[in-house]
Structure 1
Amino acid sequence: MANDQLSRKNKYRHKRLKRFSFILLGTGLPLIIGLGIIFYIDFHSKELPASNDNQSYNKPPIKQETSITISAAGDFTIGTDESFGYSGSFVEEADNNGYSYFVKGVKDIFLKDDFTTVNLETTLTTSTKKAQKKFRFKGDPSYAEILQLGGIEAVNLANNHIHDYSETGYKDTLSVLKKHQIGYFGYEHRYVTTIKGIKIGALGYEGWYDTPEIRSQIEKDIKLLRDQGVQIVLVHYHWGVERQYVPTESQKSLARFTVDAGADLILGHHPHVIQGIEEYEGKFIVYSLGNFMFGGNRNPSDKDTFVFQQTFHFTDDNLTTEKNITVIPFSISSVSDRNNYQPVPLNGGDADRVMEKIIHSSQQINGTGWTVYNNNGR
């Protein structure tokens, strides 16, 4: 009897197990497969880190590329010597045409770059106390607006005309530049600005002679800029001999020393004519940019000039060795029979002629290797 009951229970259990097996096969199998897939994905997903916007896995860091284009032009005498008289003077042109007239040919260049610097070879003052010298230049303080309209960010003061109206005229000029938010440098003044996160510094000197004293000052000033985190150092020199197309030995030795001391670009003026360009230790030396917007002469025989542009390239805030320059031939006047103080870029044969003049002077310095970096195709 007991055996019969046990047999019936075993048959009942067998039927239940059989029914459960059909359930697994009919409806439970997909569930098992699904659980298996989930387990597989979960297991393998643990082999990879979770996504995080602040982290990068197995990817090289993205390098930050920055470029800064700097333009430079020569002597800006936005004014005149009162002994010249009114007719044909810078003052007459300003009165008749307004201030935007003077920058018509340059603003498209200077407003599109990152930083523009020129040599301010005049005072901006109403003072009447003149220095005892042959030529004394001054312009109305409102003429500083011309610099603004032209897209000029900073000017060099270290030259032989900034004190033409003594200390009063000099201080007036500084005040006027500050009022119009034009930076300045030269002598005891150092200029530092930040563009696109890159610090630019500018220095200016009267470099008539290569002496131990000026060399010591240059080294000191460049170090001060570097200690402030300046990444591009510009140095302006007022130097050389008037109307001489080839720089003196003193100019060359002082320029090369300045590069060795840490300058990135040397910009020269004073001869009133253009001189050559040199590449030295991977840096450029522009010995004379010549006149540019020059109220100091109503009709100079040589009206040729140029704008020098250099684009500096940075990778992760480090200056690279890539070199790009653009030499843009100009005339100081938009008419040929006189100086109307409206510099304009040259085209065609005139541009070629000015470029050949720069190259000819460069061949008498240290060759023309720099021309391979010139982007204007001349």
Structure 2
Amino acid sequence: MTTDLVSIELRKAGRSRIEEVDFNNLPFGKHFSDHMFVADFADGHWQNLQVVPFSDFTLSPALSSLHYGQSIFEGMKAYKNEEGEVLMFRPLENWKRMNESAKRMCMATIPEEIFMGGLEALLRVDADWVPNTPDSSLYIRPYMFGTDTFLGVAPSKTYRFCIFTCPVGAYYTKPPKLKVETDYIRSAPGGVGYAKCAGNYAGSMYPTLLAQQAGYDQLMWTDATEHKYIEESGTMNIMFVINGKLVTPATSDSILKGVTRDSIIQVVRSWGIDVEERKVSIQEVIAGIEDGSLTEAFGAGTAVVVSPYSLIGYEGKDYMLNEVPKESSLANRIFNFLNDLRTGRSEDSFGWMHKIV
């Protein structure tokens, strides 16, 4: 890793706000740490690399990304081990995926040394913000947007890259209820479903709101062509345990390639459990719930980690998922494994953890 090749200016906050936060009661995404990393792309290269106090940006009303949507982001987490050291989980995978999103959205890519150098510098100065209370972590939000001021559908020539962080607790406090979406779509073949761009999430909000008004927490998106095959949920990839196998929709250009998803697949295979990455029809899922061959359904993602579902609503009927005892639940076994790995309580046999020094 080449983070020592970049020079980053540090301007520390005059006063920390950390005493204002109750670390035993952390909502998701409400409290922000003292500092942020900022870099600008102009004249063909990245410049003005700084860690500065968390504060507002001053933006032009003609900012191109506000009009034409050149905005991408990532989601990551940092943890503390028993020695108080700060650990990150597979950060290079997020860097690679962010650059895949940037290429699809016709934006500047970010060199590894700038992404990792900014991340490490920020986490060093705000290390005290990484919580060590149960089910908590420091959520990390790298994002980038076009900064040209013009009206015209064309890629921006300048960009701002920023990383800020926030201490968080659990994303869901209880197993979510999912509604299978068969009218609206999240993405389509040839589109930007695999990119982590802002517009994907904006387009999902209205159908999600309709589902929430009907008593559900999230949507289970289906394919854009037939509404027959399951793709993903609003905040997570989707996994099932069917006949003792872990089954998950294969990724494509309409499904986000989740880092947590990939990690779970590798872990479960290392345990000798069969994994199938393939098309999964909603009819297969409903039939599996009814005949008992589907024993678990859960989401996987950075924010939720592993989140079992309580029910799946489809065509006006709710299908309850059996509560599997924790001691025999694959979802719970995965969650405990990843939690112990990320907090340094178990050996890092996969080489996934990155220590901030």
Instruction: Determine if the TM-score, normalized by the shorter chain, exceeds 0.5.
Output: no
Query: What's the TM-score once normalised by structure 2's chain length?
Result: 0.25
Q: Select the structure with the greater relative contact order (CA < 8 A; seq sep ≥ 6).
A: 2
Give the greater-gyration-radius structure (CA): 1
Instruction: From the two aligned structures, give the one with the greater helix fraction.
Output: 1
Query: What's the TM-score once normalised by structure 1's chain length?
Result: 0.24
